[in-house]
């Protein structure tokens, strides 16, 4: 087993059960429904796999972000399911994913008999070499029919759905953070304001070309997206032109904001909006549109003069800007694990 992650685990477990993580712990318990026998496995999942309200894992927080290829494997290359032991291997055992039939090398010290089935979570420590995390279940003697029954039960379980959703979230947020760094590298900030919608569309098109042909994300280990496309034999990416909808295309100015959680925002008539908040302009209709539009988040109002303006022009109550905004621009309810949508949403 990888000693680096082993060393980190006690700190991660402590953080997962800390007072500051109680909201995430409660959500995870609702999703996982741990019993006394699998509490340790639940805490391991919460410490290593769970994506919190800010789009990060405790593993990311402890190591200060995903910085190396090893960190990336720990963070992204996790899998859960059933694995049947095919036989010994110099680095442990050769196993097969029962669902996909993919062969893996499992690095464990314990003795495993051929045909045994392991049900649980694995983390990749090297290319093609994995180790178990948490407390996997071991079925020492299982027939093929029993194996398929176990697989069916797993695929139909809430835990399987949860872990796959968390896998998608970890990958998505990691990619979003990389592309946000590209945005900041290109524009010099997370927020850029264009004097017209046409200039905004041209600016984002130019950024896209930079992102594809020049930016070198950590996930590609120094390569570019374009080179990866070409090496895969899929050809280059299609030509990209940003087409703004009517509301944005008619804007007198356009702000493009890249938020670490919510991603890219396009805010129309932004100079008129912020100027009115500060008292430089009187485009009160623009502020009213921002205020009434549920698609415009509270981020837009994190601007100079917003608190005084809202108190003066709207019937709002609250001692702070956050108090006022939470009434009109509440964050989406978290009725389900982390950032996942709730039932029926």
Task: Assess contact for 51 and 57: CB atoms under 8 A.
Answer: yes
How do strand 191-194 and strand 103-106 relate by DSSP bridges?
unpaired
Instruction: Dump pLDDT digits (tens) for 233-266.
Output: 776 666 777 788 888 889 999 999 999 888 899 9
* Cβ neighbours, 10 Å, residue 235: 8
pLDDT at position 1 is 45
Q: What's the pTM value of the predicted model, to 2 decimals? A: 0.85
Instruction: Dump pLDDT digits (tens) for 191-250.
Output: 999 999 999 999 999 999 999 999 999 888 889 988 888 888 776 666 777 788 888 889
CATH 1.10.10 fits 79-144, yes or no: no
Instruction: Dump pLDDT digits (tens) for 138-167.
Output: 998 889 999 999 999 999 999 999 999 999
pLDDT at position 193 is 97
Instruction: Please state the length of the chain.
Output: 345
Domain boundaries, the chain: 79-144, 178-328
């Amino acid at each position: 087993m990888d000693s680096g992650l082993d060393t980190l685990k006690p700190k991660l477990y402590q953080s997962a059960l800390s007072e500051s993580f109680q909201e995430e712990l409660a959500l995870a318990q609702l999703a996982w429904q741990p019993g006394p026998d699998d509490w340790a496995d639940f805490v391991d999942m919460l410490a290593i796999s769970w994506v919190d309200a800010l789009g990060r894992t405790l593993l990311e927080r402890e190591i200060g972000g995903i910085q190396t290829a090893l960190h990336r494997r720990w963070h992204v290359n996790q899998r859960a399911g059933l694995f049947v032991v095919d036989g010994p291997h110099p680095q442990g055992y050769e196993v097969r994913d029962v669902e996909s039939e993919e062969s893996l090398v499992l690095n464990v010290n314990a003795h495993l008999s051929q045909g045994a089935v392991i049900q649980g979570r694995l983390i990749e420590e090297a290319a093609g070499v994995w180790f178990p995390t948490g407390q996997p279940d071991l079925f020492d003697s299982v027939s093929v029919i029993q194996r398929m029954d176990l697989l069916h039960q797993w695929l139909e379980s809430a835990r399987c759905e949860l872990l796959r959703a968390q896998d998608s979230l970890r990958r998505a947020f990691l990619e979003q953070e990389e592309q946000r760094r590209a945005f900041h590298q290109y524009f010099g900030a997370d927020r850029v304001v264009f004097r017209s919608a046409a200039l905004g569309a041209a600016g984002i098109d130019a950024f896209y070309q930079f992102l594809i042909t020049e930016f070198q994300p950590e996930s590609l280990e120094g390569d570019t997206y374009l080179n990866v496309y070409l090496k895969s034999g899929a050809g280059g990416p299609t030509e990209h032109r940003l087409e703004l909808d009517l509301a944005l295309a008619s804007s007198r100015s356009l702000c493009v904001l890249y938020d670490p959680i919510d991603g890219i925002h396009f805010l129309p008539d932004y100079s008129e909006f912020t100027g009115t908040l500060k008292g430089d302009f009187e485009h009160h209709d623009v502020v009213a549109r921002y205020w009434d539009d549920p698609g415009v988040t509270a981020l837009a109002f994190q601007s100079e003069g917003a608190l005084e303006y809202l108190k003066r022009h709207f019937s709002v109550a609250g001692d702070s800007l956050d108090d006022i905004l939470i009434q009109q621009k509440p964050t989406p309810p978290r009725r389900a694990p982390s950032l996942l949508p709730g039932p029926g949403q």
